[in-house]
Chains A and B, each alone.
Chain A
């Protein structure tokens, strides 16, 4: 056995463990526990209902709609934020753009720094059916047939919400990729040059393998973020029209706070947690993060 028990590192870890426990682990367990009860914010007593809430979960059509919307969110976000952001990052890091790159980087990053509430209000003006920029622009270029009440149409509502998120988040992911690309040793590119590789070849053979690690981290952020997404649909559409742009988090919020059904809201929260945890685990397994160095 170890003669010297390593007390110091444990002491250093203690505060963070304490706060994690108080603010994350205990509420998590409590939420799981709550999902077996029926109660609301004002009631003093909780009624034990066993698995009834979980049974309800499987009969609830809105949950299905929400999961589908969350998946749409995840898929589109991965395409835009991982692939487009990577391409954007490598273009910005290209020699041709050296002069303008710093300016462009700031421009792409600005949306990340604006509060999501402000952005959502901004976009509700853009999507406004009467005087919105988007419809006005479409009319200006002669695409009148494409104009529609973007947030008021059950097919376009969720995509309009997703589109706003892409605009907002692509800057952050691009920034992370830029940092990763800057860390790639220049020798690799020089060697590729000597071998006669073109820009595209260099991207696939040098950049891509070198930023793999960052890519998996970004993938994790994006996918779990998509499953937890709340602000954007809540402010823009509140899940409407009908339930067409409902996500799990919005459904949970409305169940708990508007419909006074905290027990069932806890059940939805548990489902959301399980989904994001499963995705995170799969990604960590597949990517074998941390094992390549």
Chain B
């Protein structure tokens, strides 16, 4: 008797498992009848973006009655982990958000991401609206794998009132910038430029931009690739010397504070200049009452690099290899001019769609920032995303050491060279 019951249970369990398999495979087929199911995964379970995307999904479903969109979202760091797991098997959602550069490249290397070059070429009405320079971080070996959406840029924010009182103008070149800093110092601002150097990424943002100014683009591209990295070019030393010179204006205080503290000092009007992201505009406005403008990291006259590249990387959308045709349509819908314009109004972050950010729907400061993003000939990625993390770490720790006079540019480069040689 007992044996029989045991058999029965075993059979029941087995059928359960088999049934589960069955339902799984039918799911994979994506469609039942005419209905198409799209899995959509993004990283904003927080407002205002969650409601924004929920609304967009509803609109798209109404316009396309045969499409059903399953949405899932988790926050930033968890998103990174979850996508990494998903991309290692076939459960990758049809459409999902991604950062650019190394993050995107890692995903692409899985071979499960859909190349979008054909899609872009086939529909110029839609794709021409996307700002050309923002594609770079999603393009590997001339194939584009992602559509950029939100954009960001790093620039020197300056306090207009202090600049006026000290009688200085926005600098055009790096030498002028140093003069401005000297004059500000003479005007009583002991540390005219501040940075939270305990935040290693803040250093990496500086270095990424500086290297783009002083190092030849071909050499930089070679060194940003872990396979060919050498860092033997003399310009890197010059770049580090520029960083070192700038830290002399930051004062001892900078090595002990973080970026947020530095931003608060700027918002309180204590510091005339700070290197910040456009995404921080709202935070500065909320924290204080300063009238500020910004300028890109000025041209280094004797540098070999790009004179006006803007550091800042976009975020965008990717499709999985097996995504249905409808997912492509949804992607176009998400990155259309109308969606982008609405996004600017609701969320405030800048985006890469022409006509998406206008004087009417953006706040004036953000609009000015937007112009800087448009005017830059090319974008430079965040340095810690661009190079191998161990190499970035040597530069970032080295940057702290430079600021406190514990090392020299030559020593840092030597360490980097021996690291990449291994």
Q: Name A residues whose Cβ lies closer than 8 Å to a Cβ of B.
A: 42, 127-130, 148-154, 237-238, 240-244, 254, 258-261
Given contacts A127-B256, A149-B255, A152-B252, 16 further A-B contacts (CB under 8 A): A42-B84, A128-B257, A130-B253, A149-B253, A154-B401, A154-B406, A240-B400, A241-B197, A241-B255, A241-B401, A241-B404, A241-B406, A242-B400, A242-B406, A259-B389, A259-B390
Closest Cβ of chain A: how far from B203's Cβ, in Å?
10
Q: Tell whether, in the assembled complex, residue A152 and residue B257 are in contact, meaning their CB atoms are under 8 Å apart.
A: yes
Cα A129 to Cα B265 in complex, Å, equals 13
User: Which residues of A have CB within 8 Å of B401?
Assistant: 154, 241-243
Cα A152 to Cα B404 in complex, Å, equals 8
Closest Cβ of chain B: how far from A237's Cβ, in Å?
7
Chain B window 135-155, contacts with chain A (Cβ cutoff 8 Å), 1 for yes, 0 for no: 000000000000000000000
Cα A148 to Cα B255 in complex, Å, equals 11
| Chain B interface category by residue count | 20 to 34
Chain B window 16-33, contacts with chain A (Cβ cutoff 8 Å), 1 for yes, 0 for no: 000000000000000000
Main SS at interface, chain B: helix
Residues facing A in B379-410 (CB within 8 A) are 389-390, 393, 397-398, 400-401, 403-404, 406-407
Closest Cβ of chain A: how far from B274's Cβ, in Å?
15
Q: Tell whether, in the assembled complex, residue A240 and residue B406 are in contact, meaning their CB atoms are under 8 Å apart.
A: no
Closest Cβ of chain A: how far from B232's Cβ, in Å?
21
User: Which residues of B have CB within 8 Å of A258?
Assistant: 389, 393
Kindly name the residue among A148, A150, A243 whose own CB sees the greatest number of chain B CB atoms within 10 A: A243
Closest Cβ of chain B: how far from A39's Cβ, in Å?
14
Cβ of B254 under 8 Å from chain A = yes
Cβ of B185 under 8 Å from chain A = no
Cα A127 to Cα B389 in complex, Å, equals 30
User: Which residues of B have CB within 8 Å of A42?
Assistant: 84
Closest Cβ of chain A: how far from B342's Cβ, in Å?
37
Q: Tell whether, in the assembled complex, residue B407 and residue A242 are in contact, meaning their CB atoms are under 8 Å apart.
A: yes
Main SS at interface, chain A: loop
Q: Tell whether, in the assembled complex, residue B389 and residue A149 are in contact, meaning their CB atoms are under 8 Å apart.
A: no
Residues facing A in B236-281 (CB within 8 A) are 252-257, 265
With A243-B397, A259-B389, A259-B390 known to touch, is A149 a contact of B256 (CB < 8 Å)?
yes
Cα A96 to Cα B197 in complex, Å, equals 51
User: Which residues of A have CB within 8 Å of B255?
Assistant: 149, 152-153, 240-241
User: 29 A-B Cβ contacts within 8 A?
Assistant: A42-B84, A128-B257, A129-B257, A130-B253, A130-B257, A149-B255, A150-B256, A151-B198, A152-B197, A152-B198, A152-B256, A153-B255, A154-B401, A154-B404, A240-B200, A240-B255, A240-B400, A241-B197, A241-B198, A241-B400, A241-B403, A242-B397, A242-B400, A242-B401, A242-B407, A243-B397, A244-B406, A258-B393, A260-B389
Cα A125 to Cα B406 in complex, Å, equals 25
Closest Cβ of chain A: how far from B4's Cβ, in Å?
37
User: Which residues of A have CB within 8 Å of B393?
Assistant: 254, 258-259
A-B residue pairs, 9 tightest by C-beta: A152-B256, A152-B255, A242-B401, A149-B256, A241-B400, A129-B253, A241-B255, A242-B400, A129-B256
Closest Cβ of chain B: how far from A134's Cβ, in Å?
12
Q: Tell whether, in the assembled complex, residue B400 and residue A149 are in contact, meaning their CB atoms are under 8 Å apart.
A: no
Cα A224 to Cα B84 in complex, Å, equals 38
User: Which residues of A have CB within 8 Å of B390?
Assistant: 259-261
Closest Cβ of chain A: how far from B270's Cβ, in Å?
9
Nearest chain A residue, comparing its CB with the CB of B256: A152
User: Which residues of A have CB within 8 Å of B406?
Assistant: 154, 241-242, 244
User: Which residues of A have CB within 8 Å of B389?
Assistant: 258-260
User: Which residues of A have CB within 8 Å of B400?
Assistant: 240-242
User: Which residues of B have CB within 8 Å of A151?
Assistant: 198, 256
User: Which residues of A have CB within 8 Å of B84?
Assistant: 42
Cα A127 to Cα B265 in complex, Å, equals 17
Kindly name the residue among A151, A154, A254, A260 whose own CB sees the greatest number of chain B CB atoms within 10 A: A154
Cα A130 to Cα B191 in complex, Å, equals 12
Q: Tell whether, in the assembled complex, residue B198 and residue A153 are in contact, meaning their CB atoms are under 8 Å apart.
A: no
Q: Tell whether, in the assembled complex, residue B404 and residue A242 are in contact, meaning their CB atoms are under 8 Å apart.
A: yes
Residues facing A in B53-98 (CB within 8 A) are 84
Cα A244 to Cα B84 in complex, Å, equals 34
Kindly name the residue among A149, A254, A261 whose own CB sees the greatest number of chain B CB atoms within 10 A: A149
Closest Cβ of chain A: how far from B202's Cβ, in Å?
12
Cα A97 to Cα B183 in complex, Å, equals 62
User: Which residues of B have CB within 8 Å of A148?
Assistant: 252
Q: Tell whether, in the assembled complex, residue A149 and residue B252 are in contact, meaning their CB atoms are under 8 Å apart.
A: yes
User: Which residues of A have CB within 8 Å of B407?
Assistant: 242
Closest Cβ of chain A: how far from B419's Cβ, in Å?
10
Nearest chain A residue, comparing its CB with the CB of B85: A42
Nearest chain A residue, comparing its CB with the CB of B84: A42
User: Which residues of B have CB within 8 Å of A242?
Assistant: 397-398, 400-401, 404, 406-407
Cα A150 to Cα B253 in complex, Å, equals 9
